[in-house]
Structure 1
Amino acid sequence: MASYFDEIQKYFQHHNRTKELNGNHTAKVHSVGWSCDGRLLASGSFDKTVSVFLLERDRMSREATYRGHTDSVDQLCWHPFHPELFVTASGDKTIRIWDARANKTVATVNTKGENINICWSPDGQTIAVGNKEDLVTFVDARSHRVKTEEQFKFEVNEISWNNENDLFFLTNGHGCINVLSYPDLKSLHVLNAHPANCICIEFDPTGKYFATGSADALASLWDVNELICIRTFSRLDWPVRTLSFSYDGKMLASASEDLAIDIASVETGEKITEVQCESPTFTVAWHPKRHLLAFACDDKDKYNRDRDAGTIKLFGLANDSS
């Protein structure tokens, strides 16, 4: 019987096409994310806008462009089980909740600083947003009111709940992972994860693992229950800026300023394939139901002046699709 590793390598032999999407962004795309049902893909850009695309089989069409932020859209995320709602974090000191059906803002929440990271709790009730001053604000997703704020005395890079919604994780500038209880936000553990800045964190959809990326160019895989490092992935040469698990939890994509995205087997650490890029990659997102990876690279005009900036790409399409 063929192993998963063999099967997925064979799959990518026939699904290794990369397609560019024109989101009409005029500057770097900071964040891409799929709706929970996988029908919609959103991209947030330095140009202050969000684009949303509709996926039908292997075809993507742009649905709408969302305007309202007055500064860069630095990160976005979708509601965990409502396929039409997503939220954006911006340098304009607001977060905005959007409804893809109405192509408009549902709510705007004012915050105390320039926002750089955001996540939605697995139960859908709370949105957490972090700013450049290391203040994390927790917003009630229904009333759109601030529930609480937590000021940290260290550099907070990325934030996330665990899948069970009872722990809150932060990656910090000292190479550590801070684990807090939720909702009371008491410090439980400080994990010395990396010798350099710990940049990003991502939870495996099966709830077994989480992964972190660091300025030491390593991605590390952690057991959620034991809070111990299982293995590291070391094929990249530059700081790991973004991570994403495949929907089945068996693959981990990691990206950096390397001109390739590494796709590895979670269980063995072996390289499954890599996606060639023309410039540094700062956001990746696996589709929630199929082996399709969305990603966006740095402004191409820095590297190839006859190309547009702000392009989103898809990897994993069938080679014979048009």
Structure 2
Amino acid sequence: MKENTGDVDTRNVVKNRELLYRMIISQLYYDGFQPIAATLAAAVHADPPCPPSDRLINLMMVGLQHEPDRKDRLAASSGAEHLLGTTGFDLEYEMDASSLAPEPATYETAYVTSHKMACRAGAFSACGQLVATGSVDASIKILDVERMLAKSAPEEVDPGREQQGHPVIRTLYDHTDEITALDFHPREQILVSASRDCCIKLFDITKASAKKAYKSITDAEQVLCVAFHPLGDHIIASSTQPVIRLYDVTTSQCFVCPIPSHHHTKQVNSIKFSPNGKYFASGSADGAVKLWDTVSNRCFNTFVNAHDGFEVCSVAFTRNSKYLLTSGRDSSIKLWELASSRCLIQYTGAGTTGKQDHHAQAVFNHTEDYVMFPDEATTSLCTWHSRSASRCQLMSLGHNGAVRFIVHSGTAPAFLTCSDDYRARFWYRRNTH
């Protein structure tokens, strides 16, 4: 039986009206009118919650451009570029709740590897097939993800395939002190490491017998952070003093910002390039978050007291380079819109509010549907819906010491936790049919 056209039209009108209400609520939140937005959300029963977004004003300005009597009033750059499709997290677009990835609390431990001392650094390769862990014992391990999964569930391995080897495919010994940071080259089989021995080292991980780095860069201070540019031709590094270094990978030439007032005043705890490679972000013990231009190597924006004066522990960009996720020693996580320099969302409720002894990282899952943060006091994983900031299920991480580092795969439902209990745990969500 054919559906009545009038019924279809009525449903479309209702659906569009609901969308309009949601955009009005989001715009009110974005503009700082939280009480009004909350009242309207309750009145129209907006569910799921509406995150802050300026999509409505952008749509309105684009629409006005097509009104004949308005065209002369509006510039061509009125914001239409914001309507281009993107992947991952973007507050300008409605999201179907049914398309959410599995909650991180549903992941299970697939493999555990141990160092001789505390494990405090980790990284996933760009393709998601390799994991690296670094320890206070100065060693670095590289593990194969497929082999870890095969070890944890041998019954799922295809009998026709060759026998899987040990998950640890390399152990690198070329530092003399704690490994503080690791990062994989975005395109090649190269790993960069930072250490308290004042060295940055580059390893060619295609060579099975090579335990030593093929290139070493020496600093005058202990190196705390290191990260590759998305093209892999430069790295940024920070040490126990405030000045950030930008290195050319080929020549090892070092560049620093020439303007003293641009620098942090205390050590930098976290640095990351934006995925588009145009800028990088730094979070410091001085409480500030800074944004730097990659070409000029100069700071173009500073969020002073980003976490109410507490140290900034981590920075992480969204894949579209429009937002920055930060965490602080106050145990709060904030999402900043870079175009407006505003904190749009704050993720709260981690158990150790204001009482962290160590730095902890806030990270997105691979689809950017969730924000993850390890709670120091309970050794649990705190998770929030990234758009609504609503809390998800708490999950024990199974460590016997503080989780000193967490990193999620960029390609799959998998993450790594590194702990003072000497262990690194690889977590994975298997398909459940």
Residue aligning to 1:194: 307
CA distance in 2, matches of 1:266, 1:203: 13
State which of 373, 379, 385 in structure 2 corresponds to 1:265. Answer: 385
Residue aligning to 1:138: 246
Aligned pairs for 1:221-240 (under 5 A) are: 221-238=335-352, 239=356
Paired AA for residue 184 in structure 1: S
1:194-216: CA deviation from partner (whole Å, max 9, x where unpaired): 11111211112233322101011
Aligned pairs for 1:93-172 (under 5 A) are: 93-103=198-208, 104=210, 105-143=213-251, 145-150=252-257, 152-155=263-266, 156-172=268-284
1:219, CA displacement in angstroms? 0.6
CA distance in 2, matches of 1:273, 1:205: 25
Residue aligning to 2:125: 35
- Give yes or no for the alignment of 1:70 onto 2:176: yes
Tell me, yes or no, if the aligned pair for 1:125 and 1:141 is still in contact at 8 Å: yes
- Give yes or no for the alignment of 1:47 onto 2:159: no
Residue aligning to 1:21: 112
CA distance in 2, matches of 1:197, 1:11: 29
CA distance in 2, matches of 1:77, 1:274: 28
- Going from structure 1 to structure 2, the CA distance change for 1:81 and 1:205 (only over 3 Å counts) comes to farther
1:269-294: CA deviation from partner (whole Å, max 9, x where unpaired): 12233331333212111112111111
Residue aligning to 2:192: 87
Paired AA for residue 386 in structure 2: V
* Number of aligned residues: 306
- Going from structure 1 to structure 2, the CA distance change for 1:263 and 1:74 (only over 3 Å counts) comes to same
1:318, CA displacement in angstroms? 3.1
Aligned partner of residue 135 in structure 1, secondary structure: coil
1:223, CA displacement in angstroms? 1.7
CA distance in 2, matches of 1:16, 1:163: 26
1:93-128: CA deviation from partner (whole Å, max 9, x where unpaired): 110011211143221111221101111112211111
1:316, CA displacement in angstroms? 2.9
1:147, CA displacement in angstroms? 2.8
CA distance in 1, matches of 2:371, 2:265: 28
CA distance in 1, matches of 2:112, 2:98: 30
CA distance in 1, matches of 2:248, 2:101: 43
State which of 209, 224, 230 in structure 1 corresponds to 2:323. Answer: 209
Q: Give the number of the structure whose residues are more often helix, by fraction.
A: 2
Q: Which runs of 5+ in 2 are unaligned?
A: 1-47, 49-94, 152-166
1:228-272: CA deviation from partner (whole Å, max 9, x where unpaired): 111111121334611222222222211241321212211111223
Residue aligning to 1:295: 417
Report the TM-score when normalising by structure 2.
Answer: 0.65
Q: Give the number of the structure whose residues are more often strand, by fraction.
A: 1
Q: Which runs of 5+ in 1 are unaligned?
A: 300-309
- Going from structure 1 to structure 2, the CA distance change for 1:10 and 1:183 (only over 3 Å counts) comes to closer
Aligned partner of residue 242 in structure 1, secondary structure: coil
Q: Which aligned runs of 4 or more in structure 1 are off by greater than 4 angstroms?
A: 2-13
Please say which of residues 266-275 and 214-223 is displaced more in the overlay.
266-275
- Going from structure 1 to structure 2, the CA distance change for 1:5 and 1:286 (only over 3 Å counts) comes to farther
Please say which of residues 290-299 and 274-283 is displaced more in the overlay.
274-283
CA RMSD of aligned residues (A): 2.5
1:319, CA displacement in angstroms? 8.8
1:12, CA displacement in angstroms? 5.9
Structure of greater Rg: 2
Tell me, yes or no, if the aligned pair for 1:256 and 1:282 is still in contact at 8 Å: no
Tell me, yes or no, if the aligned pair for 2:121 and 2:182 is still in contact at 8 Å: yes
Tell me, yes or no, if the aligned pair for 2:409 and 2:415 is still in contact at 8 Å: yes
Tell me, yes or no, if the aligned pair for 2:374 and 2:381 is still in contact at 8 Å: yes
Paired AA for residue 370 in structure 2: M
Using CA pairs under 8 Å that are at least 6 residues apart, name the structure with larger relative contact order, 1 or 2.
1
1:181, CA displacement in angstroms? 2.0
Paired AA for residue 194 in structure 1: H
CA distance in 2, matches of 1:148, 1:173: 22
CA distance in 2, matches of 1:27, 1:164: 37
Report the TM-score when normalising by structure 1.
Answer: 0.86
CA distance in 2, matches of 1:212, 1:153: 16
Tell me, yes or no, if the aligned pair for 2:271 and 2:280 is still in contact at 8 Å: yes
